[in-house]
Amino acid sequence: MTPLYKENSAGVYSNNVRFQYLISPKTDQSIVNAILVSAKGDDGKPTYKELVVRKNRTAKDTNFWRMKAAFNAGLLRFTFKDIVSVEGFIHGGINTVFGAYGGVDVLGFDGQYGGGISVMLFNSFLLRFGIHHFSGHWGDEILADFYCNDNPSFHNPYIKGVDYEATTEYTRNNSYYFDLGYKFKDYFTFTFETELPQSNAWIRPASHVPANTTKPHSEESPLDNNCSAEIWEDEGFLGSDNSAYPSSYRALRFSLGLEGQYWIKNIGRIYAAGEIDFHQDGKIDPVKCVYDKDRPWEVEYSAALGFAFARSEYDTEFVIEASYHSGRFPLLNYFFKKTSYLAIGIGVNL
């Protein structure tokens, strides 16, 4: 069950169990209090807007509870001496964040799952291939705030067709994985991961869809139409598409990871990990909703320091961890929200 390819402990979406308290700087920038919607710009063209859901949030309301429950498991493994091991793996889980203030409202839920094949060569070189699904969901309580209008602490009611056309979401259904790793004994693991959305896939929001992506057919929508046209229609802009995007834009994600660890016999391991994530969708201008060749890829930085109680690498690990993240807020639908936080918490690595 212990997988050949272990994901980086610092990765925000690594498949493990974490219960964390997030502490962000006490600034207005750290307040998470808006839903991203599509709307008509001044020129009538699509734009994205952040609509605030409550008037009374302040810079004191910038701590959060995060709960992520996910597993990463090898199912079947074939090993030939110390030369090669081949394994079928599955992983997946749910991630959620609550405000550590007010009524501890849930801000959103993320679902992710994946599966494929991992290979280890000479107990050092790692390869992983597979598919990965990412799906962001708004929390019911923040949606209730968004739609409600009978509480003076909320915004005035937003009117569909005037203030917004549709709420947006973040979806990658599904992407290919191509991952490489190198494990130096029991001390260090270096990883380079690539995630490429399939050319026939559901991708949201509309502005992130590569030009030639087609949508999967379904019972309700049987034709494999252009995906961007379909999602733009969902976001209230019938007739829009991303055909002007260059073919080099594929909504790619890359990540570089390094994790070091030191085992203390029969007690566990101390570890330190770092990860840098690169998002090609950072090249999409969120105001004009178009590809901008001059915008850089968006970059995120994450680091973790922890102790994992376990008697061997095959045990379930109980983890005490401190981590730091600078980048997107750790819920998929809040990709538009840049933040940083220090997290302390406990966890389990299955």
Partner 1 sequence: MKKIFTLLVVLLLSSFLFASFSFSLGPSKPLFHNYESDNFSPRTKIALVYQTASNPEGQILRFDQYEGEYDKDLAYRDPNKTKENLLIQFQIGTAASLLRFKWDNIITFDAAAEAGFNTVCSYLNGNDFIGWDGLYFLGGEAKILNSVLFKAGFRHFSSHIADEVLIRTIQRNPGTFFKGPLEYVRDTIEISLGYENEKFPYISGAGSIIIPLTNSFMEPFAHRPDNIISDGRTNAEKEPELYAVRGDYGSWYKALILQGEIKGQYSINKALDVYMILGGKLHQDGCTKHTLDPSDDDKKWEAEFDAVLGLALKGDNLNVAAEFSYHNGRYPLLGFFWKRSQYISVGFRIY
Chain positions contacting partner 1, by CB under 8 A: 1-2, 17, 19, 67, 69-71, 73, 75, 92-94, 96, 106, 109, 111, 113, 137-141, 143-144, 147-150, 157, 160, 167, 169, 218-220, 267-268, 309-310, 314-318, 348, 350
Give me 87's structure tokens: 């394994």
Find the shortest distance in angstroms from Cβ 146 to partner 1: 8
Which CB sits closer to partner 1, 176 or 318? 318
Q: What is the bridge-based pairing of β-strands 106-121 and 63-80?
A: unpaired
Burial 256-292 (b: 16+ CB within 10 A, else e): ebbbebebeeeebbebebbbbbbbbbbbbebeebebe
Cα 158 off chain centre by: 28
Which CB sits closer to partner 1, 108 or 181? 108
Residue 312 near residue 292, CB atoms below 8 Å: no
Find the shortest distance in angstroms from Cβ 77 to partner 1: 10
Which CB sits closer to partner 1, 227 or 310? 310
Find the shortest distance in angstroms from Cβ 216 to partner 1: 10
Find the shortest distance in angstroms from Cβ 303 to partner 1: 24
Cα 287 off chain centre by: 22
Which CB sits closer to partner 1, 78 or 314? 314
Find the shortest distance in angstroms from Cβ 254 to partner 1: 27
Find the shortest distance in angstroms from Cβ 129 to partner 1: 21
Which CB sits closer to partner 1, 268 or 330? 268
Find the shortest distance in angstroms from Cβ 162 to partner 1: 13
Which CB sits closer to partner 1, 75 or 322? 75
Which CB sits closer to partner 1, 43 or 150? 150
